[in-house]
Amino acid sequence: MSQTALLSFFSLIWLMVLAVCAFLIIFVAPIHFIFLEDPYDRLIISFIQASLAVFTVIILVLALSKLKKMYLRRQLRIR
Amino acid sequence: MLNFNFLSDIILYGVVVSVVSFFSVLVLMPSLIKILTTKGEVVQDYHKAERPRIPRPAGPVLVAGIGIAEIILYMFTADLRVVAILLTSVIAFIIGYIDDKRVMPGWFKPSALVLAAIPLVVLGAHDSYLNLIFGTAYIPLLYIPLILIAVPVVGNTINSIDVLNGAVSGFVIITSIPLLISIAIFGDNTIFLSALPLFFVSLAFYKFHKYPSRIFPGDSGTLLLGAMYGSVAIAGSSEIVGVIALLPAVMNSFLFLSSVKRIVEHREVKSRPTILTEDYKLAASSEQGAPVTLLRLILTGGPLSEDSIVHQIFMLAAFSSILSFVSIFIQYYFLEMH
């Protein structure tokens, strides 16, 4: 039971990682097209991409934290 | 992807680096065990009834195995990326060795490991594109801070899974298989060859580290393996695949950090995540303030013996490796087919 629950927990985390990758590819990576002609494009693009990527990772960490609490409540019966 | 026009070179160099790294550890380790035992550089194995004294650290022999193999590979290829991977691994080994010899504060390893990442940046071992499973992102500037963060994170992640006899060596063996396959597909010949010693050194070391351990890796051994894992994943364009393979260890670090809320050594935490029962099995602690770790989660089903827990860790590593293989397949579909 414990092993099955852990495997489901890891599968869920894996799906969350894939979701973050998909978000970055669909929404963050194509940003450079907007600034194609700008002479400062490289710096601007990197700054915007970095900010969005960091924000996305923070959301992932918060979601993982929430998931961990839900899992622990079930498994360890911690309030 | 591997260039099969040079298939004979791949086979010849691959056999040489694999054999050299594997047999270096196999031949040198018994001597290191004798030397450390004679010098009294031993620690107690608390999870056994008789509390045997086990020599530590095995890092010097592991770094010798990796070092000799990478130097030979550099002589064959003259590729500076091999030097970058070697330097990263050696610096991580030195940081771990300092921690083995002196009691350092919790912040020491993560901060000092930033130094280990520098050769990868300076010698240009990285790409400007990050493979994100469903495509690639061009991040020439962002990639550099990412490397400086990734190497310390992976080094400490592998270090955190060194909890029981054979756990870290077996874990690295299992999780380096999807990494090697990913490097073969998304990396190139040289990086694939330079990653082989990671697998073969761990394989040879497992013979001495498996339950019941004859030697412990120490921080010098675990940081070396972790930093090398991170550096070949970066140089081989397999960062996310590597993270997925390491999920059990990543979650172990994440669970620990999010429960203690600061960077500390395990020895500095007052409440233990597990307790030792009278029949020398491990059980999950029921203390509310005890840190949450992978070990504690595994033990929620009831007390287990040390070798059963290690077996469960290997099962989790195998499962995350399967997830990693699925990710490789998805990435191959999106990058190569489209």
Q: Which two tokens stand for residue B32?
A: 């290191």
Cβ separation of B297 and A22 shorter than 8 Å?
no
Adjacent-strand bridge partners of B138: B129
User: Contact A68/A6 with Cβ under 8 angstroms?
Assistant: no
Percent above pLDDT 90 for chain A: 29
Cβ separation of B298 and A6 shorter than 8 Å?
yes
Nearest CA in chain A to B244: A14
User: Contact B164/B47 with Cβ under 8 angstroms?
Assistant: yes
Residue B100, pLDDT above cutoff 50: yes
pLDDT at B191: 96
Q: What is the pLDDT of residues B33-47, one digit of tens each?
A: 999 999 999 999 988
Q: Which residues contact B39 (CB under 8 A, 6 or more apart)?
A: none
d(CA B115, CA B111): 8
Q: Of the ranges A24-28, A71-75, B191-195, which is most confident?
A: B191-195
Residues 259-288 of B with CB under 8 A from A: 284, 286, 288
Helix ranges, chain B (H) = 7-39, 59-77, 80-101, 108-122, 143-160, 167-186, 189-209, 218-235, 239-245, 247-260, 294-298, 306-332
Nearest CA in chain B to A47: B142
Cβ separation of B319 and A79 shorter than 8 Å?
no
Q: Cis omega before residue B30 (within 30°)?
A: no
Nearest CA in chain A to B137: A29
Q: How far is A29 from chain B (nearest CA, A)?
A: 5
Give the pLDDT band of residue B270 (cuts 50, 70, 90): low
B142 touches chain A (CB under 8 A): yes
User: Contact B32/B39 with Cβ under 8 angstroms?
Assistant: no
Q: What is the pLDDT of residues B297-323, one digit of tens each?
A: 888 888 999 999 999 999 999 999 999
Residue A79, pLDDT above cutoff 60: no
**Whole-number average pLDDT of chain B:** 92
Cβ separation of A46 and B139 shorter than 8 Å?
yes
